[in-house]
Chains A and B, each alone.
Chain A
Amino acid sequence: MKGTPFEKKALENINLEIDNGEFVALIGHTGSGKSTLVQHLNGLLKIEEGEISVAGMQTKGKDLKELRKKVGIVFQYPEHQLFEETVYKDIEFGLLKQGLEESERHRKICETAAILELDNALLEKSPYELSGGQKRRAAIAGILVLEPDILVLDEPAAGLDPAGTRELFDIVTALYKEKNITVILVSHSMELVADYASRIIVMNKGRIHSDGKPSEIFMQGRELEKIGLGVPEITELMSLLKKYRPDIRQDIFSVDQALQEILKQLGVKQ
């Protein structure tokens, strides 16, 4: 929309380096530019200034196919992209585009389906007959089957119930550990980010607000609230408990850690 009253700069002054094998979370308020940022990673959006290099390739280049093989993006509500007659065929779509052999395709699909716990009966169903959580997993399978080195997940848990969310994240973490891929997670849920990511990048109004380990990020609680984010509920609880126990640890982001700390404070031995 260049040159119209609707023109808006979505991203500005982004200097970012993500190493191989990192589990990075991008967090930010709605409209902070996090989805825009990740769409640049495989050339779906083209930059107007600056440069991006992913896996040694420039995203400005002409040959985006190779780049898109390396970077798999799972969009928000990925189930909206399902279109084939059966789940199997839908997962196969990307592989067909890569021109792989039948046997090779079959092997990869079975492997991916096993990771995402999609059984054979399910693979033969129409994607529109599945439940919400199943649809989500089927759609993610369509990306994972391409075996990307860099997996980008844009709000993968939106609209899933807590159990479904856990399930999905356990799968992603297992995959991350097993295949040593890079995972970039876009989210605004602090709890999820705290539990899984090893590095957090906070976005605000198209700029990087802060970048660091979860402990570093969540220590600036007030700062985060100012830009419409918060700290995980459990961290909030710990800061409230500080009133009564001044020496209670503040760098706590999961319920387990909190439990240990409170037990310690109470002098209970396990």
Chain B
Amino acid sequence: MIRNITLGQYLPGKSIIHRADPRTKIIVTMLFMIVLFIIDSIWALLGALIFVATAYWISKISIKFAIKGIKPILFIILFTVVINMFMTEGNTIVNLGFAQITDQGLLRAAIVSLRVFMLITSASVMTYTTTPIMLTDGLEKLLKPLKKLKVPVHEMAMMMTIALRFIPTLIDETDKIMKAQAARGADIGTGNLLERAKSFIPILIPLFVSSFRKADDLAIAMEARCYRGSKGRTSMRVLKYGKIDVAILLSFCIICSGILLIHYLI
């Protein structure tokens, strides 16, 4: 019943991007986002768009998934487009009487929407090609220096791993409970607002109860295996920097400087 959650979903594959070290992908994505905010010429942004499209092409992820990820924020994009179109000064193209669309406005709208579009799609490439576990692993390794400042990096990564690990479980659980209650005649999400809110009670209460039980079981299972935080803990998958990562980082640097060059020269 509820299976259309795409954000943060991993799509298995064997491409170079799939095989790259999660740290590489995190760094590249972060840097790319910074670059996206620096550049504000349409040509540089179009260059960046080619980069994102290439990333999708290499990772063999269908464009459908890129668009799926955009859907939730489509409204925000449209909103910014409209605001920018009307609120920027410049030469009037269309005059509606109470407001006018200017050439500068259109340009700004294109720039802003392209930027938001790429922010989402570039982050999606990372989550589509990396399992959540790998992502948190990479994040933990990247944030390791913060340990010196007594930041509980490992614990935070563990919490994230567990939270991500339980998303599918909870979806399954919700699905099961929804079916069980529907079989008893519950109609979920119908009627007026109050009825609709009420109809979720038979789902949420069992879900909470089972989540608490699962958390408790997991805590006991972890303690039974002598889990005591990060001290002296080794990892099953040791992340290794390979040739692919160096290649990706290098080509990314070149592309970025190209994009920045366009930005500063034009």
Contacts and interface: CB of A to CB of B under 8 A. Distances in A.
B12 to A, nearest CB: 6
Nearest to A85: B205
Q: Give the interface residue-count category, chain A.
A: 20 to 34
Contact of A42 (B183, B202, B206): B183
Given A80-B177, A80-B206, A81-B206, A72 B183 contact: yes
B94 interface: no
A8 B40 CA distance: 45
A82 B209 CA distance: 10
Contact of B183 (A5, A44, A80, A83): A44
A213 interface: no
B186 A75 contact: no
Interface in A146-198: 146
A192 to B, nearest CB: 22
A105 to B, nearest CB: 13
Interface residues of B, number: 22
A239 to B, nearest CB: 39
B151 interface: no
Interface in A175-229: none
A97 B183 CA distance: 11
Interface in A1-37: 1, 3-5
A75 B179 contact: yes
Contacts of A142: 184
Interface string B58-83: 00000010000000000000000000
Contact of A93 (B176, B202, B209): B202
A39 B178 CA distance: 12
B244 to A, nearest CB: 22
Nearest to A42: B183
B185 interface: yes
A81 B180 contact: yes
A143 B182 CA distance: 11
B247 to A, nearest CB: 26
A107 interface: no
B221 interface: no
Contacts of A3: 64
B176 A75 contact: yes
B9 to A, nearest CB: 9
B181 interface: yes
A93 B184 contact: yes
A128 B202 contact: no
B3 interface: yes
B186 A93 contact: yes
Contacts of B182: 44, 68
A242 interface: no
Interface string A77-120: 01011110000000001100110000000000000000000000
Nearest to B209: A128
Interface string A51-94: 00000000000000100110111010010111100000000011
Contacts of B173: 80
B254 interface: no
Contact of A5 (B12, B181, B185): B12
A83 B185 contact: no
B186 A97 contact: yes
A62 to B, nearest CB: 12
9 contacts: A42-B183, A71-B183, A75-B180, A78-B180, A83-B202, A83-B205, A93-B202, A97-B186, A97-B187
Given A65-B187, A80-B176, A93-B202, 7 more contacts: A44-B183, A75-B176, A75-B183, A83-B201, A94-B185, A98-B185, A146-B185
Interface of B: 3, 11-12, 64, 173, 176-177, 179-187, 201-202, 205-206, 209-210
